[in-house]
Every structure is written in C-alpha cells, then in structure tokens.
Structure 1
C-alpha cells in the first residue's frame, strides 16, 4: 500500500523498495526512508538510516520508550544524524482517540485499555496502546497514578505507565482500541476501530512529506497535527 501511495503521488518518487534480502545500502541517496518491517529488524534499519543522515518514518510496532530514548541519545550526539519519526498508528482517527483519552485522563482515576488486532500481529500490547497509556500517564500529572487494583495478577493486563492494557489477537479483526474510564456513577469509553487499511493512507503520506523537515526524534503522528501532545524526545 505504501509503495502504491508513493507511486500515485505527484510530489513523491520511489527510490528503492527493500526486502529482507536487500542490502541496506540501497536506501542511500533517498530523501526519506519508511520502515514497516518487523520488530526484530527495525532497530538495524533505523540505526543505518540515522547514521547515513536519512530521515526515517518508523511504522514498525514494538519500540519501547527505552529503545526510543537510546535512538534519541544517538541522534543528539551526531549533528548529521537523520531525524526519526516513530508513528505507532497512521490512522488520523486513532491519533485523535488517543488525544481525547489524554484530555479526559485527569478526571478519572480508573482507566484501562483494551486493544484488539488480527491474529498475525506479533507484538503486544500494540504500539498504539503503549502510546495512549504513556499520554494518559503524562496527562494525569498532579492527579497521580491510575488506580489499578490487583495489578500483580496476570489477568489484569500489562501495566504501561501505570495503565492496565489488555491485548486481544483475533481472526476477523483489523484493529480496535477502547479506553475505558470509570468514575463515581459513570463510565466514559473512547473507542476507535479500523475497518480497512485505507484508514492509514492519509497518515502515511503526511509523515513522508513532513519527515524531511523534522529534527531529532518525534513520537506520534499527533505531533504533525499540532494537537499539543508530548511528542518530541529531547
């Protein structure tokens, strides 16, 4: 899909399409790289691109905040390093859903995330759920951590920034996320579902067009939408 979008765009031209058997040198000379591979391969691709001074858009899931911080430290230490834009989800609706969750987070102490993806997705929780939980944690600030009773029990999900995250991997599902917030006498659910991969097209093109202008390490498509959420890694 990404290749088709590039070939159809009047302002973009495909430099090279690499496979798992390609030499990473094939990306040299490109204005921007797009990594949509596998968590086990992504780190080497990002390191090569940044070292070569090529801005890169990373759509591969599985990047933890610790690993992103390591990349940020490398970029800071090299003036000629390419910028890195980590995009947990290219869907505009998904990005807005995470932003709405961050907006509501200070007003509810009970918050949990349920995310579902197709059975073939190899990582869990999803990058989108991790990003959403991190935004919730940051947004709560003085409100303190989310109330997560019995978090030591495995069935309570994985804690990400103090928020329990539950992952489903099911046939028949593309991508879904629900952020459920509980308060006195009420619940608020912020839900987003993806019906087809066409939902990602607008975000992919936006990231590719903006990446050459980016500096440092940026996390989240929301940083390109001026939503006022934390995005740049210092």
Structure 2
C-alpha cells in the first residue's frame, strides 16, 4: 500500500524535487500539489503532508495539517526553538499526529552537525559560516540555527562561547551565543563551515551540497517516518542511527516522538587539557 503525500510548495525547488521523487517511487504517490496560498483543505485525506514553502507561511500550513490530523514533514526554515516549544505545547501530552521539522535532508549535513556538536565541548571559540544560492530569502539558514542550538546544548555546563565584539553588525547574528554569518552567492547551492578555535589550533568541520540529489535519501526517510510519527520531532538525526550520541530511529510511533527536548542531551563536560581556556564569556 502506497503512502499518499500532499506537497505544499510544489512549485519551488524542493517541492519539485520531492514531487519527482514521489512520482518515481513505488512507496509513495502524489495526493495533492499545492501552493502556499492555496486552499489547504487539499491536504485532507493525505497520509502525509510536506511543507516546503516560506517561513511566513509555514505556521499556517502546519496548523492546517494538525487540524486535519495529517502528519506533516516541515522542510521550511524559520522554526526557532521558541516556536517549536509552542507547537509542542499546542499538541499536548498525547498528540494524535506528528510534526517532523527537518532543517536539512542531507545525511552528510546531519553528520557534520553531529560532529560539530561532539567537538564543541573542547573549544571555547566557535563560529558558523553558511552560504546558499542567491535566491534563498531567509538567513541564517535553518541548518545553521539548528547547528548553533545543538552546540549550545552540548556546552550547557560550560557557558557561552568566546565571541568578542558582537555589538558590531559585521560579527554576524548570535544564535545560542554563537556568531552565525550568512552568504548569498551565485554559483553556490548550500555550504556550511563550523570553525572551532582552541589553543594553537583551529578545527573546521565543513559540508557542501553540490546537487539536489543529496536530499533524496533524507526525504524518503522523513516521509516513511512521518506516517506513524506522534508529537514534534526535530532533525533527521532523530530518525536514523548515525552511531553518535543523541541520534536514533526510535522517534516514531512511540513516546520518544513527543519527548520535550528538541536537542540531544549533552554528555558530561570533559576535563580541559592543561593550557586551554575554559568557560570564557
């Protein structure tokens, strides 16, 4: 039996990619192709909905899907931790449907974010530089925000990173105390570098998407998981076993799906090597 999918934002870059993937699949079928301003009653009867629109439209689309009891995969930026917590509260303690918020469908991107999260406890100076195509309207990207929030959670016992002169506009936007810098350039699809500075060294964790095909496996994973999801699930790392702390595939159809945290529980802070500054403000 195939899964019927309603795609909202079907005419956009990601919408076209998802639609083509569904049409080429034996596992999924198109239920409806909608724009962000269309009548969202077209979601009714779908097994899963997908939102790949704009930040200003996403809340309305998610609310419509929840009201229709249709689980939804959200690939739209703009879902801050505050908005996510508000959504959790609205769904209640025994949600009847699921909302999967996926900042990035690329497995490589999720791995890079996980590596940066693991490394963050060993470095006090951390900044993120993300670059996207010139047509991307929002900044910073959802992936950069998610990365910063996870790094902040991993460093919760250590305090904020060392980020001097953040009163200057050129120093980027602070997310969880971490400066995030956004580039919008022709010739770029999606790239993110996390720079971690320590005594006598800099570790840079970099990921670049060079083709939309990088998103296909993550889209399939999210669509398959959404049908039985309950509650709010954030990040592709919640759906797949990466072999890293805080990741796993036990987030659908179970109590884990509605757990109140949107970030992995940070591991205990390591002891600092001699000579490395700790807990700089």
Unaligned 5+ runs, structure 1: none
CA distance in 1, matches of 2:159, 2:38: 48
- Say if 2:105 is the partner of 1:90: yes
Give 1:22 deviation, angstroms: 2.5
Greater CA deviation, 119-128 or 66-75? 66-75
- Identify which of structures 1 and 2 has the higher relative contact order when contacts are C-alpha pairs closer than 8 Å and 6+ apart: 1
Matching of residues 154-169 of structure 1 within 5 Å: 154-169=169-184
CA distance in 1, matches of 2:74, 2:231: 13
CA distance in 2, matches of 1:20, 1:157: 30
Pick the structure with more helix per residue. 1
- Say if 2:55 is the partner of 1:33: no
Q: Given that residues 130 and 193 in structure 2 are in contact (C-alpha distance below 8 angstroms), is that contact kept between their aligned partners in structure 1?
A: yes
Matching of residues 188-203 of structure 1 within 5 Å: 188-203=203-218
Count of aligned pairs: 233
What is the match of residue 12 of structure 1?
A: 28
What is the match of residue 175 of structure 1?
A: 190
TM-score by length of 2: 0.80
CA distance in 1, matches of 2:233, 2:161: 26
- Say if 2:51 is the partner of 1:51: no
Kindly report the root-mean-square deviation, in angstroms, between the aligned alpha carbons of the 2 structures. Answer: 1.5
CA distance in 2, matches of 1:97, 1:77: 32
TM-score by length of 1: 0.95
Give 1:152 deviation, angstroms: 1.3
- Say if 2:2 is the partner of 1:2: no
SS of corresponding position for 2:31: coil
CA distance in 2, matches of 1:159, 1:79: 33
CA distance in 2, matches of 1:158, 1:14: 39
Q: Given that residues 95 and 230 in structure 2 are in contact (C-alpha distance below 8 angstroms), is that contact kept between their aligned partners in structure 1?
A: no
Match of 1:186 among 188, 201, 222: 201
Give 1:215 deviation, angstroms: 1.5
SS of corresponding position for 1:105: helix
Match of 2:231 among 211, 216, 221: 216
SS of corresponding position for 2:196: strand
| Runs of 4+ off more than 4 Å | 230-233
Match of 1:115 among 130, 151, 163: 130
